Structure 1
Amino acid sequence: MGETSPEPDAEPDAWTVRGTTAAEYPEVARVVGEALLIPAEALVGHERCDPLVEHERTLVALDGDRVVGAAASYAFSLSVPGGPRPVAGVSGVGVWPTHRRRGVLTALMRRQLADIRARGENLAVLWASEGGIYGRHGYGPASREARITVPRAHAALRPDAPRDPSLTVDLLTPEQARPALAEVHRRTLGERNGGFARADKWWPHLLRDDAHARGGAGHLLAAVASGPDGPRGYALYRVRNAWEQNMPRGQVLVTEVASTSPAARVALYEHLFSRDLTVEAVFHDMPLDDPLPDLLADREQAAVTPFDALWARLVDLPGALSERSYAAPVDAVLAVTDRAAPWNAGTWRLEAGAAGARCSPAAGPADLSLDVSHLGAAYFGRRSLSGLAAAGLLTEHTPGAARSLDTALYEPLEPYCGVDF
């Protein structure tokens, strides 16, 4: 989540930024809630939020002794190219409405980046409430997800879709299914970049089932696909009951699908499409390249609506580029600007190959001149630096340098987080 604020009108040094404690959390929640139009009572002491807050990673900005801004982060083990890495998941960012455009957010972001770097986390990620905010703080839109809507009348899967007669699908409450959910998620986590290991405290947040979470739909349900060796997949969903002119118009609202095999995923899709009294299934927050459209007998019947998901920020540029894996050798000199983290600004040489990668200070002419936000956007290997060069947003001094770096950064699957933290 993020604060809605354009460029500041005051210097960030005008504000005191410090850490906070659990005792101060109600005031932090009041500020963040007002900034994000969320009632503070929905945050303070709420089972969804309170256990998740890492107070030692929360910062506040002060006007005298009054809290006027806040920024927090979670300690994640995030899947990135090359394997899981410690990453900061930035959240809970907000500025009191009367203190916007006065440099509060900039002061918080600069202090937060310095703290994240001091913890040894080379990368930060977040979900942006508005896309125009975080680019100026060095974040780039690094992943896209999709909402997929399929009319039930056209939900038949291909005859050659993989099916396994040994699989069964059971419909359970989330609490009944929780051990299976955790096992499947752990086994599938590394298949895509962008997901984080779910500690026990995250499951109550993900399985939240109060009236606000239902949004007028029914209770949360868990469909679990199992084989002789145990759980192989699950789908979390709700059903919305609706009627129009005495005809059923219900919806299946899917929040997450995970599977350890294609056949388990097919079994789950066919269960979701089989619910009576419904006319469509809506899959929220799915990978942009989810296999569902390809499995339909008529893929054109799937309405796919993409949206930006995780934004990524190189907190320690040489560290982040050195710990990443690469799909092809690359040797490039990068001239990087970074207004919020001056330790990243300068000229760097990236050398990567089968034996690993090294990013070190360099002298001499650069192959590419770009902002740190562009490297954040490209970090998961699915955003094109060549496209940014064509738009005139970065400068290519050596012909083909952007394409060469794109080839080295490339990852075959779209990144996927699926959890708005």
Structure 2
Amino acid sequence: MTYPIRPISEEEWPQFSGVLAEGFNWTPHPTQTERWKANTEFDRTLAAFDGDLIAGVTGIHTFSMAVPGGMLPVAGVTAVSVLPSHRRRGILSQIMRRQLADIRERGEAVAALYASEAIIYGRFGYGRAADSLALRIPTHRSAFTAAAPSDPSLRVRVVRPADVRPVLEELFAEVVARRPGRYARDEGFWNMILADEEFDQQGAGSLRAILVEDSSRARGYALFRVKGNWGEYGAPDGELQLRELHATDPAAHALLWRAVLDRDLVTKVTADIPVDDPITQLLADVRQLHPRWLDDLWVRLVSVDAALTSRAYSAPVDVVIEVADDVCPWNAGRWRLTADTGSAACKRTDEAPDVSLPVSALGGAYMGAGSLVAQRSAGLLTEHSAGAVHALATAMSWSPAPWAGWVF
């Protein structure tokens, strides 16, 4: 069947949010629903209708997101769900195809999302573009290496997040472009990040913050909650849940980590961090990270030529790429990418391909993490010219590693 698809009106919000509640098995607090509604761009929603019933939904956040070399307009895909009663009818496919066409018409070359299930979005051309580490560090085994940086001018200040919101916003704006995948935050996103009602706390206490400052300015902050606990014999056994940590320089970063690891009555710190976060180098015993790998951001090139032209490259490359894309057929075919560390061009060509690959492979490499060589080894793409995959992977690689850092 073909289902009518269109943006919803504000009056249709209860039905729209109801589909998400069913799809994600979630019962939000009414205040959470209102926050979510306030951060919804209604003109960028889509709903599939079965008569008067909304059967499937999605939406977009209009982002300015860091990519290698700068900031780029990116469609942040969110709120994707189908009613359990309407699964296996092609509704998701129809919505996703319509959404990608709308993104292209709007002039955005890249879409990104967090996947509820990693198996879903590859079939729509999204590639795993960033990874994350979930850590559980025992504080009594968290000593730093002797070479850890320090700055005697820095001090730690305990603050209420709401009291220093302008400082937090300014610090984040200063560092956002340094790591591909992070995105600029508007007022609505900050409202959600700093939300601290009882239902936000989930038994882990109030949102807390520390600032690291010198005599003239703040140079970093951490947001966290502490879930207090006492062991069987009365010993403290609290868990500090680190929500985010951002710093302008290595010494501030190290001091922030030291401040959360040394908090009284806490025996473990949990956090989700980039795979190359400095803490992975600062701990004297790296095994105490107890890391668990997770996929983070998934990226889709909506317009291959514009996307590849809009990012920076780490090395010169001149390669003809044959792209397979049955969802966005305007991307399919051969493209010649010519780039160096200062500029890039991507144009249609009839030349013989050096590499043939699915568009999802380019999405997975777009933010700089790169899996092209591994995909060649796995037989998931084809190299026609010796060395072409390595050259393309080297050019598209970037440091630091991509990471979005906050689910949208």
TM range, smaller chain: over 0.9
Task: State TM-score, norm by structure 1.
Answer: 0.94
1:47 to partner: Cα distance: 4.5
Cα distance between partner residues in 2 of 1:162 and 1:329: 34
* Structure 2 CA distance for aligned equivalents of residues 43 and 99 of structure 1: 26
Counterpart check, 1:34 vs 2:18: no
Aligned pairs (5 A) from 1:360-371: 360-371=347-358
Q: Gaps (5+ residues) in structure 2? A: none
The counterpart of 2:74, out of the listed 71, 87, 95, is 87
Does residue 1:289 correspond to 2:273, yes or no?
no
The answer (yes or no) to whether the contact 2:175–2:248 under 8 Å persists in 1 is: yes
Report matched runs for 1:58-73 at 5 Å: 58-73=45-60
Structure 1 counterpart of 2:64: 77
Question: Could you list the per-position Cα deviations for residues 103-125 of structure 1 after superposition, in whole angstroms to 9, with x for gaps in the alignment?
Answer: 10010001100111111110000
Q: Does 1:160 align with 2:147?
A: yes
Q: How far has the Cα of 1:195 moved from its partner?
A: 0.5
Q: Which residue of 2 aligns with 1:6?
A: none
Query: Does the 8 A contact of 2:312 with 2:342 survive in 1?
Result: no
1:343 aligns with 2:363: no
Counterpart of 1:258 in structure 2 is: 246
**Structure 2 CA distance for aligned equivalents of residues 234 and 339 of structure 1:** 45
From 286, 292, 295, give the equivalent of 1:299. 286
The answer to whether 1:205 aligns with 2:192 is yes
Q: Give the counterpart of 1:113 among 96, 100, 114.
A: 100
| CA distance 1:187–1:287, change in 2 (3 Å) | same
User: CA–CA distance in 2 between the matches of 1:401 and 1:93?
Assistant: 36
Whether 1:185 aligns to 2:158 is no
Contact 1:151 1:301 in 2 (8 A): yes
Deviation digits for residues 39-80 of structure 1 (CA, Å, limit 9, x no counterpart):
2x5478634312211111000101122210111001000000
| Residue 268 of structure 1 pairs with residue 256 of structure 2 | yes
| Distance in 1 between residues matched to 2:11 and 2:275, nearest whole Å | 41
CA distance in 2, matches of 1:165, 1:78: 34
1:25·1:44 contact (CA, 8 Å) conserved in 2?
no
- Give yes or no for contact 2:29–2:199 (8 Å, CA) kept in 1: no
- TM-superposed CA distance for 1:159, in Å, is 3.1
From 7, 10, 19, give the equivalent of 2:7: 19
Q: Structure 1, residues 278-334: CA drift from partner, whole Å, max 9, x if none?
A: 111112x21111111311222222212221000000011111011111111111111
Residues 47/28 of structure 1: CA separation in 2 closer, same or farther (3 Å cut): closer
1:217 maps to: 204
Give percent identity, aligned residues only: 42
Partners of 1:346 and 1:243 lie apart in 2 by 62
* Distance apart, 1:37 and its partner CA: 1.1
Residue matched to 2:137: 150
Deviations 1:221-268 (A, max 9, x none): 011111112111000011111112122111111010000111111221
Matched, 1:373 2:353: no
Q: Does 1:420 align with 2:407?
A: yes
Please tell me the root mean square deviation across aligned C-alpha atoms, in Å: 1.4
Please state how far the C-alpha of 1:101 moved relative to its aligned partner. Answer: 1.0
| Residue 195 of structure 1: aligned partner | 182
2:370–2:396: 8 Å Cα contact kept in structure 1? no
The 10-residue stretch of structure 1 (308-317 or 354-363) with the greater mean CA deviation from structure 2 = 354-363
Alignment of 1:122-137 (within 5 A): 122-137=109-124
Contact persistence 2:73–2:108 (CA under 8 A) = yes
Which moved further from structure 2: 232-241 or 357-366? 357-366
Q: Which moved more, 1:149-158 or 1:248-257?
A: 149-158
Say how many residue pairs are matched.
407
Matching residue of 1:310: 297
On the 8 A contact 2:96/2:124 being kept in 1, the answer is yes
